[in-house]
Amino acid sequence: MNDRALVTIARGAQLQTLTPTELRLDEAPLTVDPRPRRKVKAWVRLGDVPVRVDALAARWTPDAIGIVFHVEETEYRCWVWVGAVDEQS
């Protein structure tokens, strides 16, 4: 998706994230990268619209990845399922 379309979608939509129940952080091991640098492409939902973004993997469990991405100057953080993420080189 091009940057202009992403800006338009992000402007009026709320970023969705996995819930604490889905994450099971009280049961599953959590890894936190203090300086995220692992580049990924991830599917996220802004409102009801699925979009694929360039992001950094900041934390992860066996089932989910916490990502960070930017749309213009705004930083977004959310959790997505592992299957929604592809590694970038």
Q: Is 77 exposed, middle or buried (0-12, 13-18, 19+ CB in 10 A)?
A: middle
pLDDT tens, position by position, 5-48: 888 888 889 999 999 999 999 999 999 999 999 999 999 999 99
Structure tokens at 89: 């080189």
**Helix, strand or coil, per DSSP, at residue 83:** helix
Whole-angstrom distance, CA of residue 14 vs CA of residue 49: 10
**Beta-bridge partner residues of 68:** 56, 77
pLDDT tens, position by position, 44-67: 999 999 999 999 999 999 999 999
